[in-house]
Each structure stands twice: as structure tokens, then as C-alpha cells.
Structure 1
Amino acid sequence: MLQKVPKIAIICYSKTGHSRNLAERLALMLDIDVFDLHTKRYGMPFFGFLRAGFDSVQGKLPPLQHPLPDIAGYDAAIICGPVWTSYPATPLINYMQEETRLPAALGLVLTHSDPKRPDDAFAKAEQIVGRPFVAVEAVLDKEVFLPDVEGRLAAFAEDMRLASQGALNMSGW
């Protein structure tokens, strides 16, 4: 009997390219699709960063460019993006609030600049989606391109592979 391979999507928002780099590496490890989130609100280089920080502090969510990634039919999803002012970037928050069809098996990868692990960001994301993530990883911005991150990404990828296979098995396939 053939075993169905779980279908996993990565939904990524990246302003600097750090989160996108991790998403691409995970996509290669898992042979999966990457979907980018876009907003015009933070497009200007310097002022875009200022506006992003201000919006994050104020809790103001930017409009996302539509259509949003269509992940209906995926067994699992990984949300990937930066931490801004202790919480997931506002485009990620907006996506998690807007997307009502997130698969049961969800992972979260965050890039951050504060040396302290972004536990507040993980807690906020879990509060938004209403359940715990099956796998989480946080990578410091300055470590994104270092080789030792590869092992952590591989462990995360394996956790997602197992969780998505479990979700697939529970769906009766």
C-alpha cells in the first residue's frame, strides 16, 4: 500500500531576508512550498522600519496584499518571520488572525535580534491561533547564516515531518 506524503506549506514574512533565508532552507530540507506574505505598508527602506516598529508597539496590523496564500489541502504549515518589539511581526499576526483554515499541525520559526529567547512572541502566536505549535524554533538574526543553525533547522524539520504525518494519519488517509 502506498503511503501518502504529507503536504506542508511555509508561510513567510521577511523584511530583511533573514526569515526568508530560513524558510528556503526548510523548504529544501522538506521539499515543500514557500508562500510569501506581502504588505505595502513597510516598503520604504528607512521609514518602513520605523513604521513597522511603531505599528508593532501600537498593535496596528498592516493590510496584507491579497490573495493570501491558499493552503487548503495542506496537512501542516510552518509560519516563519521576525519578532518585532517582543511579538511576532504585525504581518504574521494579521495572517494568523485572518487565516481561519490553518492545518492542525502548525510550526513556528522566528528570527530575532534580542539574545533572550522570544518566549513572549511564541505565547502571543499560540494565543492567536488558539493552540500550541507542534514545533518551534528561534534563530538570532546574527546566527541565521551560520552553519550550526543547520542542525537546529533539521531537528525542527523532522519534528514537522512527524507531526504532519500524524495529522495525515488522523485524517484517515
Structure 2
Amino acid sequence: MTATISLATDWGRQQLVRTVTRHGVIAYPTEAVWGLGCNPWSEFAVDTILALKQRPRHKGLILVAASVEQVRFLLDPLPARLRQRAEQHWPGPVTCVLPDLAQQVPQWVRGDHDSIAVRVSAHPLVQRLCRAAGMPLVSTSCNPAGRAPARTPWQVNRYFPAGIDLMVSGTLGHARRPTTIIDITTGQTLR
């Protein structure tokens, strides 16, 4: 059974930071489903998530952030119209595919893309999580490829009896489906 922490305690926040900085994988509730997360600059942690999910690296992953400021480094190189297009959706349940013009996000997160999918979440727990970590985190649904995403801690443990270092206690948001994904360059809805 994976250790569970609460972000409402100093000890819980310390355990989160320790796990993320030591290349660990966390499970946590998001807007609609449980997610898996890690430090996006840790290739080891990202590879662990990809192995757990049986997901190929070339597909890429999403970054989730607590605020626009946490992803400012990705927005600043963009033309003003693209920055504004992304920021109008945040915070909220919309993931925006942003060109990563300076390739600041590692390839193991971007996959075979020159862009990166980013969401500034309005979910209070996800915001606390990213604030406590001090960075945007990888966010992907908590399920093996081809299976329905976990909606309860029990399902998280059933899917992944090993491999997750820490579970963050909390409740799902009120969304019934995973977040919408929009390509801000074309305006096309991808999901």
C-alpha cells in the first residue's frame, strides 16, 4: 500500500517535496480523475510513469501548474496573441498546447513534439500541490494504457500496487470528463 499524505500539514508538504526532488512518482486527485505526477525535469521519474502506464514516450505528457506565473517561462517567448489565447482559459479545466519555442521542457516530457500541453488548474488541491512542489508537475491520468482512469484511491492501488511513491489525499473536482485540450496556435480542440 502506498503511503498517503495530506497537503494540509507541514509534514505532508515536506514529504511531497522530498518525493518530487528524489525522482519519485505521486498520485493525486485532479478535476475529473486521479492523476500521476512527478518532476518534469527528472527523466527517471517520467520514465517510471511511462512504464507504469505502458505509454510510449513519443506521445508526450501534460504539465499542470498552480498559476500562470509557474509557466511564465513558456509563455514569455510566445507572441502576445498566443499568450492571451492561453491565459483566457486559466485557471480552469482547459489544457493548452503551447509551442515550446526555446525547447525549455525536456524531450522526455514533450515526446516527439515541438510543443507542450499545459494546464493551469483551478482545482484547489492541484494548486496546493504545485505550489508546495515549487514547480509545474507532469500530470497524466492514473491508469494503464487502454483502461479507464482511476476515480478512487482504491482503484489507484489496484492499478498500481507498486511504483507509486506517495498518494496525496483529497477529492476529485466536479468534472465528469478529462480536461479539454486546445492547440492555441490553430485554435483547434484536440479533445
Bigger helix share: 1
The TM-score by the shorter chain falls in which range? 0.3 to 0.5
Structure with greater contact order relative to length (CA < 8 Å, sep ≥ 6): 2
